[in-house]
Amino acid sequence: MQEPATKQQLLEQLQREQTAWNALLDEIGHDRMEIPGVTGDWSMKDTIIHLTAWWRRELALLASAQRGERPPEHPPQSLVPIINEWMHRINRDRPLAHILRDAQDVWQQFAEKLQELPEDVLLDRKRFAWMEGHALGPSIFANFTNHLHEEHEPLIRSWLRQWKKA
């Protein structure tokens, strides 16, 4: 995907990604959301919990930048499995409808935060020294979407193919 040159392009990319996300959820269907095996023992509901939690981190990074603050560093890789397990344990018994609503809310909040931020804040590669020459908006957008596409979507699609064969 080409890096956006304008805020409008960034917002349009986000809309396309959200549309694709919703299509994936529709393809899975509510009746299969709690069946284990999507990501290890996790169900799609568990995977959504996981994604939503990390998406919230990206949203928080945008909020930090909006306040003019340097966001906290990403946790060390050694802690990520512990964080993932904790997020799973505190959310796994929540109703599916709440989990889906949380995910939709994060997508909406992400779009709203992008809309609120001026174009130069989002796209100026020199604006934030801590971004090391990368533009804030496209970088955080890439983190938001690549986590799904690179780490989880292949597993989701593979799991989904099992249902299509049956």
CATH assignment at residue 23: 1.20.120.450
pTM of the model: 0.92
137 three-state secondary structure: helix
pLDDT tens figures, 108-127: 999 999 999 999 999 999 99
Its domain, for residue 134, covers 7-165
Residues 6 or more apart whose Cβ sits within 8 Å of residue 94: 49
Query: What pLDDT score was predicted for residue 1?
Result: 66
Q: What percent of the chain has pLDDT over 70?
A: 99
Name the DSSP letter for residue 77. Answer: G
Q: How many CB atoms lie within 10 A of CB 58?
A: 21
pLDDT tens figures, 18-31: 999 999 999 999 99
Tell me the pLDDT band of 63, cut-offs 50, 70 and 90. Answer: very high
Q: Count of domains in the chain?
A: 1
Average pLDDT over residues 51-69: 92
Average pLDDT over residues 44-72: 92
Name the DSSP letter for residue 147. Answer: I
Task: Report yes or no on 1 lying in a domain.
Answer: no
Task: Report yes or no on 2 lying in a domain.
Answer: no
